[in-house]
Chains A and B, each alone.
Chain A
Amino acid sequence: MHLTSLRTISPALALAMGLAAAPALAQEQTGGTLRLLARAAAGTIDPHINYTLQYFQLNYILYDGLVTFRKAEGAEGFEVVADLAREIPEPANDGTSYTFELRDGIQFSDGTDLTAEDVKASFERIFKVSGPTAGTFYNNIVGAEACLQSPDECSLDEGVVIDEEAGTVTINLTEADGEFLQKIAIPHAAILPAETPAEDLGTEAPPSTGPYMIESYDPNSTLAMVRNPHFEEWSEEAQPAGYADAINYDFGLTETAAVTAIQNGQADWMFDQPPTDRLAELGNQFAEQVTLHPLTAMWYAPMNTNLAPFDDVRVRQAVNYAIDRNALVSLFGGPNLAQPACQILPPGFPSYEPYCPYTAGESDTWQEPDMERAMQLVEESGTAGQDVTIVVEDTSVSRSIGVYLQDVLSRLGYDASVQPISQNIQFTYIQNTDNNVQMSVSQWFQDYPSPSNFLRVLFSCDSFTPGSDASVNIAGFCNEDIDAMMDEAESLTLSDPERSAEIWTEIDRAVTDAAPAAVLFTPKRVDFFSERVENFLFSPQFYWIISQAQIDQ
């Protein structure tokens, strides 16, 4: 998922960081209104469509799926727990069938009961609204292929079999999928009322099952959430009750203005990263109100493997050798906000084993650039002097990184230029092969904690769709041998998870060696909250658990 998309932390690193501790609670405090800030809204509020971190974070406390990620800090936050289902089912029929028993007495915020029919309709709706992950996460549900072909006529009668009397839902898959429970734990598989229109809801939020419901949404000003009057806590680990009575999410303030508002107690938290020139001030004067969390994410520079000069692996490797990751960490805000990286999987992620072939000296982690080796590779490739354009987002950090990379490419002998384009369109622009983007700067944040979410999603042949705005394999990298390894790793997820993890580690190394991208650094998340916010809990899956914040009144 992209920057405006899901981001998480590595629990191991989070613990190792010695984080600014969340204020200890003297006693639980309920009530009050939280005021959250973001520079802009994140589009449609439809939980089956919105694919941004900003609203995923809300949707985790507004809606529920059959299962969800545990609302907890640290490694526990990566665990999938039963939510609307009573318990996590054991897969049957060689991992191709899951039967969920629904909890009794759960109601939507409009007072209607949640039924098995709602579950079936919700899974069909994922396809009817052409959800962004319909074809990648849910395509192996029986009947999904037909739904993808004809979304309007989608029927999952065989894929999602319900028994209203027994209150059970059986999901049948075409083949075993060891990540299926994780995939249905994200908000795209939230259960909505069966009568929810099969179209993008835009600003009209559907009834919810979580502790809050959306009262109003105006993308130009505010998203207002209030308590769901029909919510009764059924599982503290899946969906704990909220503390604040209301949550107002206001849009429009710049990051600098948001920092000032929080400092003055006029707001409680900001979604966006505080601007770099305020970081020192926050770290010194407001250290008690700041938390830092390493993320299982990466900033990286995809290089188009189908366009010169990056169609030559030596050039891609040369770029990797030449980049000074420490310089990029400085641009991002310093060593306490990011750490250099040069492999695809981030530290602390499943199957991660330190590996860095692009550093001077022998080391598993990046130490310093090797310009000599880089120049040698460029000379061998005979590509020096060619034009290279780097497409970056029109944000200060992305532009800075672009200018730095332009500098690196110039030193390697290329005629490089930087092209900043609007943050709103850059991510789709760089995916479309029609735009002939040679190199770009982007970010990737996990959807769920599985190596396939980095390696298969970003670097498999399946993820490369020429001419499409939704071809997230930006580098256009397609290696059939590596794809075969991915297939093998996935097939072993349930039967031999240890071997599967080992294969993913090998794939990580193979992709890193092929260098379809230059991984730059692993970012950390800075949260700045007001003095009155207590019990700031940080989930590695979806960040601040807003419902658990208490307001010191």
Chain B
Amino acid sequence: MNLSSSARTDSSAVEPGTGSAALVAESPWATAWRKLRQDRAAIASLIVLGLITLACLLAPLYAQMVSGTDPFTTNLGGSIVVGGESRPILAPSTTGLGLGTTPIGPTGEFGPYLLGADAQGRDVAARLLYGGRNSLFIAASATLICLVLATAIGTVAGFFGGMIDTILSRILDVLWAFPIFLLAISLSIVMLNQTLRIGPVEIGSGSLVLPIFIIGIVYIPYVARPIRGQVKSLMSAEFVIASVGIGASSWRILLKDVLPNVVPRVIVFLPLIMALAMIIESALSYLSIGVQPPNASWGTIIQDGQSLLYSRPLVALAPGIAIAVTVLTLNILGDGVRDAFDPKSSVRIV
């Protein structure tokens, strides 16, 4: 069904007592939005996601007004006053053989080192917010790149068919043949060890563009293949055949008939791909091939916390919980969006 071009009437959209004069067609977008609003779990997820995003966006404010420290510089010799008592950020052991140093734990006060310090003496709470900004930014950007490229490839392959379809499908097959992490790690190692030059644009090894690009690429086949299938199916739909019959140009059919029918499915993919992108970003950063230090993402903070699991487990747990909550909300939101836009769909990304 062509959601945009068919004048679809949904009886549930008619307000009681308005009579036939008020019988108006609700746009498919309005229908989807109405359905989404009725999904309490999805709306709750949206709100939580919004709050997380807002908190992360306010990271500089938190670092300046609350933490009072630079979350990207080391503070190995510093100290703070907690409960009227001066405490070192990194306390060397003074008992037994005097081995090891332990960073300050959660202070319990809404101020500096609310969640304690990492091994470099940096404020974990401030880094968590900054890290969230990077994780969300990378996941969102990678998702956009993935969806745009996948939509273009899938639509072109399905619409034009023939040799173009064969070539594009084989390229997707090659990408699909690689395990996602193997592909991502391979790309990362190649790209992170040297400055990437694309014409006049130079991308340094520490640039966030690299993880965005890497993650954006690896999920393309997972989106492009279903879109290609849908486009091929649409090509035999009556309204497309009718457009062909009245002599509409290929570009007109593509832009006016096919693409609008593909967009809802792409929207369904958006939160799901973003959730996956967030996980893969965290994994790559954890493996030191995503966000590069001293920049932070939730994955790098987990890695920083790995060496403190016994003494300061919150350093690793906090970003872990943040990732879990964010991915959970994205998945619930994704289910809601799918139900709203395409209730018959069974979009799943494995």
Contacts and interface: CB of A to CB of B under 8 A. Distances in A.
A87 to B, nearest CB: 42
Contact of B99 (A280, A327, A402): A280
B97 A389 contact: no
A282 interface: yes
Interface string A133-166: 0000000000000000000000000000000000
B206 A419 contact: yes
Given A256-B310, A335-B92, A417-B206, A406 B100 contact: no
Contacts of B309: 256, 277
Interface stretch (B69-77, B153-161, B242-250, B259-267): B69-77
B292 A333 contact: no
A526 B99 contact: yes
A394 B308 CA distance: 16
A420 interface: yes
B292 A290 contact: no
A283 interface: yes
Indicate the size class of the contact surface on chain A: 35 or more
Contacts of A403: 74, 120, 293-294
A429 B99 CA distance: 32
A400 to B, nearest CB: 6
A285 B102 CA distance: 16
A277 B312 contact: yes
Contact of B92 (A275, A330, A417, A435): A330
Given A20-B97, A333-B101, A334-B98, A280 B311 contact: yes
B90 interface: yes
Nearest to B95: A284
B77 A279 contact: no
B97 A336 contact: yes
B194 to A, nearest CB: 9
Given A280-B93, A284-B95, A290-B99, A331 B310 contact: no
Given A275-B307, A277-B310, A277-B312, A407 B99 contact: no
Interface string A402-418: 11101100100000011
A290 B307 CA distance: 20
Nearest to A392: B293
A331 B76 contact: yes
A11 to B, nearest CB: 20
A530 to B, nearest CB: 17
A135 to B, nearest CB: 28
B288 A283 contact: no
A371 to B, nearest CB: 13
Nearest to A390: B293
A284 B97 CA distance: 6
A285 B99 CA distance: 11
A334 B304 CA distance: 18
Interface in B100-150: 100-102, 119-120
B292 A276 contact: no
For chain A, what secondary structure do more than half of its interface residues adopt (helix, strand, loop), or is it mixed?
Answer: helix
B205 interface: yes
Given A330-B90, A407-B73, A421 B119 contact: no
A330 B307 contact: no
B95 A283 contact: yes
Contacts of B100: 276-280, 283, 333-334, 337
A48 interface: no
B193 interface: yes
Interface residues of B, number: 34
Contacts of A292: 97, 99
B92 A334 contact: yes
A362 interface: no
Give the interface centre of B73, B101, B192 by most chain A CB atoms within 10 Å: B101
A292 B99 CA distance: 10
Nearest to A405: B74
A399 interface: yes
A396 B119 contact: yes
A330 B204 CA distance: 31
Given A275-B307, A277-B308, A330 B101 contact: yes
B306 interface: yes
A278 B310 contact: yes
Contacts of B90: 330
B92 A327 contact: no
Interface string A368-406: 000000000000000000010100001010011011101
A277 B307 contact: yes
B97 A283 contact: yes
Contacts of B99: 279-280, 282-283, 290, 292, 333-334, 336-337, 526
A519 B98 CA distance: 24
B325 to A, nearest CB: 26
Interface in B274-295: 288, 292-294
Contacts of B294: 403, 406-407, 418
A327 B76 contact: yes
A119 B95 CA distance: 52
Contact of A419 (B77, B120, B192, B311): B192
B76 A404 contact: yes
B16 interface: no
A333 B102 CA distance: 9
B199 interface: no
A394 B293 CA distance: 11
A287 interface: yes
Contacts of A331: 76, 119-120
A387 B77 CA distance: 27
Given A280-B93, A417-B205, A419-B192, A334 B101 contact: yes
Interface in A274-329: 275-285, 287, 290, 292, 324, 326-327
A407 B98 contact: no
B96 interface: yes
Contact of A336 (B76, B77, B98, B288): B98
B311 A277 contact: yes
A283 B307 contact: no
Interface string B203-237: 01110000000000000000000000000000000
Nearest to A526: B99
B105 to A, nearest CB: 12
Interface of A: 20, 256, 275-285, 287, 290, 292, 324, 326-327, 330-331, 333-337, 387, 389, 394, 396, 399-400, 402-404, 406-407, 410, 417-421, 429, 435, 526
Interface of B: 73-74, 76-77, 90, 92-93, 95-102, 119-120, 192-193, 204-206, 288, 292-294, 304, 306-312
5 contacts: A256-B310, A276-B308, A326-B77, A334-B100, A337-B100
